[in-house]
Amino acid sequence: MSSVMEDNLPPRKFTRHHLMMAFLGLTILAVGVTTVFTSSSSSAQKPTTPKASFKLTTNNSSVNPDITLDCEKPKLTLAVMIDRSGSVSGVSTNPAEYKKSVNKFVEDLSSILISRDGELDVLLWGFGSRSIIQNDKTTSNEIITKVNSSTSLTAMKTAVNNIFFSTYADGSNDLSMNGNTTAYAIARGYNAGYPTSGVYTMTNWDDALVQVENLATTTGYNNPAPGKHIDLALMLTDGAPNVHNGTNRVFEAGDLTGYSDAAGRVYASKTVTDLRNGNGQPKMAVRGILINASADTAMNEVFGPANWSKAEDFEADLAKVLDQIINSIDTNVACQYVYVQPKISVSAPSSLTVEEGQNGTQVVNFNVKNTSTMTDRKGVSIPCDSRCNLTDVSFTYNGQTYLIPGTLSFGGSGLNGTFSITVQLGESIPGNQITFDTQAQLKTDSMIRLDPSMTDNIAKMPKSINITIERLPLPA
């Protein structure tokens, strides 16, 4: 950021450079005033865009639309606005750690989509005094956004790593603006190769958001279908804005002077609201992350208190906050449903000898166990757990149904049941065999679903016991 800051940042030491810049600013202001009060001339320089007096009185109350990822073949388009103002590079290790955190975010998010045969599109902007797109391009000048494989992920990480950060980008110094003289670097420098004077390491939230809005209204990003519009715009910044695009909403070199901090926040807040409400494009969620800075007031005014997060550094804490963003997009819970095939086994004596008559009654003890199987949503077998538990266990014998109390847990010792067999004097048993039927029920919901191969959520198991009747001797 430039030396024009807010929100109680510590004062900075004024150097000879600062004094020279102040003198230059006063000179430009004097020229502007002279232009207003003298007659116009065809050769006169274009006046600076007038900046009105603004004041924000409320925080942004617009609501982010929900972002949901399909469980199969999901598509998500992400816009990332990366603050590369001068203060970011004030600590030499910040840019590398910054990029590392962004790359981890892209990798973790893409892994969720790729695991479901989906794809992620990432749009990258680097912004200081103005916002410049950072994606690589094809030979036909189309920006490369797709992340749907390890190869494309590596290419996107390279684009992030190639973003140039400067402590003081001066429009009259190519190296300070672009880092080197390659066509790739110049096209992605602080002013995209346009040779204009001025300081380009200030902080322009306005232009960052306007560039996202401009792209969102084009043919390739103005369709509500999945993968054809921007779902989430995420701004990463290390402080409040101190420059904006002015009333015409287009960045010009003249916007580098005569700005109003409050006006910039008003413009940015309006753009955030328009994006969320779908004013000219499909609705998109817009969030902010404030990194190692105190600019809570500005973040509340532009994004709304519930729609921005704070990271204490560019390293572990930023990575943690970005992980939280992923969880807010997709907790993965909705896609962790399983298919269960309810099954039971019954252990009982295979045969019994029963003496006829009331005194010959035999008690049958049996055990029911849960032998269900489970697969994930793709049909891959996974070990059963409590999701395989069965309830409402019962058995039917001789036309009567009896409940067995308790839950039939998977992997447990099972539930025990009992019944009695009595053979009356002279009675015969068809086939010398009795049968009892045992059943248990699977309770299904959105996360525990019945295996598609089954039509009933009740597991049934008939069990037969061979009976030998011991006859009493006939009276002499």
Contacts of 368 (CB under 8 A, 6+ apart): 344, 345, 346, 393, 395, 404, 408, 414, 415, 416, 417, 438, 440, 461
Going by C-alpha positions, the residue among 278, 266, 299, 270 that lies closest to residue 231 is 278
Output the pLDDT for position 221.
Answer: 96
Task: Quote the pLDDT of residue 326.
Answer: 86
What's the pLDDT at 257?
Answer: 85
Give the whole-angstrom CA distance, residue 279 versus residue 284: 10
What pLDDT shows up at residue 327? 83
| pLDDT of 243 higher than 50 | yes
Biggest CA–CA distance in the chain, Å, is 145
Q: Does pLDDT of 115 surpass 90?
A: no
CB atoms within 10 A of CB 73: 13
290's tokens: 């404030």
Residues 4, 7, 13, 19, Cα dihedral to 10°: 20
In the DSSP assignment, the letter for residue 418 is E
Nearest partner of 296 among 69, 57, 4, 7, judged by Cα: 7
Q: What is the pLDDT of residues 39-86, one digit of tens each?
A: 332 322 233 333 333 445 589 999 999 888 888 889 999 999 999 999
pLDDT in tens, 334-387: 788 899 999 999 999 999 999 999 899 999 999 999 999 999 988 899 999 999
Take residue 271 and report the two structure tokens written for it.
């753009």
Residue 391 pLDDT more than 60? yes
Instruction: In whole angstroms, give the CA distance from residue 65 to residue 87.
Output: 32
Please give the span between the terminal C-alpha atoms of the chain, in angstroms, as a whole number. 117
User: What's the pLDDT score for residue 331?
Assistant: 66
Tell the burial category of 232 from Cβ atoms under 10 Å away from its Cβ (0-12, 13-18, 19+): buried
**Model confidence at 22: pLDDT above 90:** no
Give percent of the chain above pLDDT 70.
Answer: 87
pLDDT in tens, 216-240: 999 999 999 999 999 999 999 999 9
Domains and CATH numbers, the chain: 54-335 (3.40.50.410), 338-470 (2.60.40.10)
Q: What's the pLDDT tens digit per position in 2-18?
A: 333 333 333 333 333 33
Q: pLDDT (tens digit, 9 = 90+) per residue, 250-264? A: 999 889 887 777 888
**Mean pLDDT across 200-220:** 96
Percentage of residues of the chain with pLDDT beyond 90: 71
HSE at residue 351, side-chain half, CA atoms within 13 A, is 7
